[in-house]
Structure 1
Amino acid sequence: MPNTTVRAAAEGMPDVNRRRLLNLAGAGLALAATSAIAGKASAAPIDAAPAEHPDAALFRLDQEMEEAYSQMNRASEVCSKVSRKCEKLYPPRPPAWEDPDMPDHLHEMNLDRRIRDEMPEPIRAWLKERREQRAANGALQEAFSAKWAEINREGGLDAAEDAFNVRSNELWELGLRIFATPANTLEGMVVKLRAADRMDLQSFADENEGFLSIAADIRRLASGGTA
């Protein structure tokens, strides 16, 4: 099940990372072969499937996925709209902490100190000041994160993203059911290609359930099998 995020307004802030699904490197040949064969079949959505059709189950899932896809897109539009409203309320992000370089005269003093056991007071004072500055920057970062989260929560972005994730998961589950259902005709294989497009599998590179399923169908149909 994917874990998706549509939030882009606060880079570097905590987010939800979507599960990557497809290994294109391992499935490129399967996709190329499928596209060549499926090009001979109609890619138009099938409004109704006769019960006797060998791929009737795939057609029904395709119709369910079409509705789930529309609902997910509507939820995405809501997220984008709410996100733009929240962006206008975000405070400026404080600069990231960077350790300052030790001044040259203290650096030379530090080299000399290695001969001795006691740290010179100027170096001790500089290190203390650096710790205090780093702590102050950390407090600014925490305050920014808290304000950012508060704006997202009160502005409705968290709720909108939760709703989007529900719709995305519904689409994902339907896609997995389509991939788990053997296709017996070219029209059924087109349903699988359409599912891969709706799931945007070409953008991911970890697993390859979708195109492995299509490749298995191609081999089975090419050998004359139908079940």
Structure 2
Amino acid sequence: MPNIAVRAAAEGMPAINRRRMLLGLAAASTAAAAITVASAAGCAPVENPELVRLGNRLSDASAEYLAALEEIEWIAAEWKHRWPLAPNEITWPRGDFTNGERDIAGRFLRRPGEELRCVRDVRNLAAIVATDRPLRHNASDAMRARHANWLATAKRELKIGKAYHAETARLRDVSGMDLAKARAAAAKKSLSDLVTAIMEQPGTTMEGMLIKAQAISTYEKSIARKYPFEAELWAAQLAASVLRLASEGAASA
């Protein structure tokens, strides 16, 4: 896989940059004078060292998750033309979140000019075959012919479905997509756990507030849900405001 640059916007902030932004935040704050006086008197508070330690891990955790996502994108692009469309025999129109046709990365696959299709799984196809019951002894020839045709069609669709789902499972395996998605899930959990740990640590200075704002902003940019709930944006918007204020203060200092 080629080296792919990780999106810098979502990375954690190095400690030296955080200190520069902290100075900017102090310069932009009306409390800057009080902080200066306290420092001169030798009684400036010291930030919680565990919070600082966790904050310094944020950049690597974010980079690991974003690299895992880039790997998924690379595999999806490499295997796009080898991924089969579901045969028409096992698809229905108007698929939804649970049964819509998907690509090798698990994203919805919409065919040109069509709505999302529903792909019937093996369990559904097998259940249809399992509904077969013997006809009554006095069933007409026409009824027997329709039943035989229905059963043959159901069995053929089951065979096609088994072959399709087996092939797509094989491609996810040999392409490395299953492992890549597992790595991304693990990296996402590690990042989430780290941000949770940062938010649980007590902060004692403005540096602690900056670390927490940085953690929220990094997580929000890394996860980037397409349709977030409005309330989910509030913390990220607050964090972005804090970081912007600190950056502007650092630039003007």
Calculate the TM-score normalised by the size of structure 2. 0.49
Tell me the equivalent position of 1:124. 144
Distance 1:193 1:121 in 2: 76
Residue among 9, 12, 15 paired with 1:47: 15
Select 1:194's aligned residue among 214, 220, 227. 214
Match of 2:155 in 1: 135
Measured at CA, do residues 180 and 97 of structure 1 come closer, stay the same or move farther in structure 2, by a change above 3 Å? same
Task: Please give the root-mean-square deviation of Cα atoms over the aligned residues, in Å.
Answer: 3.4
Which residues of structure 2 form unaligned runs of 5+? 1-11, 20-43, 93-136, 239-253
Secondary structure at the aligned position of 1:183 is classed as coil
Secondary structure of the 2:46 match is: coil
Q: How many angstroms apart in 2 are the aligned matches of 1:181 and 1:145?
A: 47
Q: 2:180 aligns with which of 160, 178, 181?
A: 160
Distance 2:167 2:189 in 1: 29
Equivalent AA in structure 1 for residue 80 of structure 2: E
| Structure 1 stretch displaced more, 160-169 or 58-67 | 160-169
SS at 1:88 equivalent: helix
The structural deviation recorded for 1:153 is 1.2
- Conserved in 1, the CA contact under 8 Å of 2:83 and 2:168? yes
Cα displacement (A) at 1:61: 1.2
What is the letter of the counterpart of residue 65 of structure 1? L
Cα 1:132/1:186, change in 2 over 3 Å: farther
Partners of 2:61 and 2:191 within 8 A in 1: yes
Structure 1, unmatched stretches of 5+, are 1-43, 99-116, 215-227
Match of 1:10 in 2: none
In structure 1, what residue type is equivalent to 2:186? V
The TM-score with structure 1 as length reference comes to 0.53
Count of aligned pairs = 149
- Map of 1:21 onto structure 2: none
Which residue number corresponds to residue 84 of structure 1?
A: 77
* Structure 2 counterpart of 1:176, from 190, 196, 207: 196
